[in-house]
Amino acid sequence: MTRISLVRHGQTDWNLTKRIQGSSDIPLNQTGREQAEATGLAMSGGSYDAIYASPLSRATETAAIIAGHVGLDAPLPVPAVAERRYGEAEGMTGAEILARWPEGTPVPGRETRESVVERALPALVGLAEKHPDESIIVVSHGGVISSLVRHVTAHALPGPGEVIPNGSVHEFVYDNGELTLDRFNVNTEDRDLFTASVL
């Protein structure tokens, strides 16, 4: 059994202004760095064997900060867990998107949730198989995490109105060829959960 702690990166200025980032490489802001520090501190009671990250800088920097707290080397890049591409909607707010593309209208260049799962799920499985009976950290993005959570829970999670906060941790287990969700939205105050969740 392999445990995967899937972490959402810290806040960016575009998160703060509710602008869609997608594949745009927007860096962490100071709040985002503080969130990464808090997540790393919360995870420091556990034992981890490796850390990986999306190559987008907001994820890579979050992972590097966490790595410092859990005693790991610099994170290794995994392009398949980069954020969902939003095409022409990147840089826009939700209201701006709806004004330009009303509900049900396809946004040019926006990646489907299904295609996100098709690239991200095999990547996580590959990492799990590379680390049998170990615990690893993967820092990714809200769109990727929500797509994976929806997939493995048959859309039971996230629930209505439930969000995936910056710096949140989602615990997955890979066992007998199957990836399942163990804990959803573990927050930085749940240190006992972080400690108990590792092998």
Q: Phi and psi at residue 26, in whole multiples of 5°?
A: -95, 125
Residue 196 has pLDDT above 50, yes or no: no
E-strand spans in 124-186?
135-140, 169-175, 178-186
Whole-angstrom distance, CA of residue 122 vs CA of residue 129: 10
Cα–Cα distance between 159 and 157 in angstroms, integer?
Answer: 5
Average pLDDT for 76-99: 97
Cα–Cα dist 24/38, whole Å: 25
Q: What is the pLDDT of residues 3-27, one digit of tens each?
A: 999 999 999 999 999 999 999 999 9
Percent of the chain with pLDDT over 70: 94
Round the average pLDDT of the chain to a whole number and report it.
94
Q: Are strands 178-186 and 169-175 parallel, antiparallel or unpaired?
A: antiparallel
CATH number at residue 161: 3.40.50.1240
User: Each residue of 163-173: pLDDT tens digit?
Assistant: 999 999 999 99
Query: What domain count does the chain have?
Result: 1
Taking the whole predicted model, whether its pTM rises above 0.85 is answered as: yes
Structural domain range at position 170: 2-197
Could you tell me which of 168, 172, 103, 111 has the C-alpha nearest to residue 141?
168
Verify cis geometry, omega within 30 degrees of 0, for the bond prior to 158: yes
How far is Cα 2 from Cα 71, in angstroms, rounded to an integer?
A: 19
pLDDT reading at 195 higher than 60: no
> Which residue from 34, 31, 29, 36 is spatially nearest to 9, judged by alpha carbons?
36
Active site residues: 9, 83
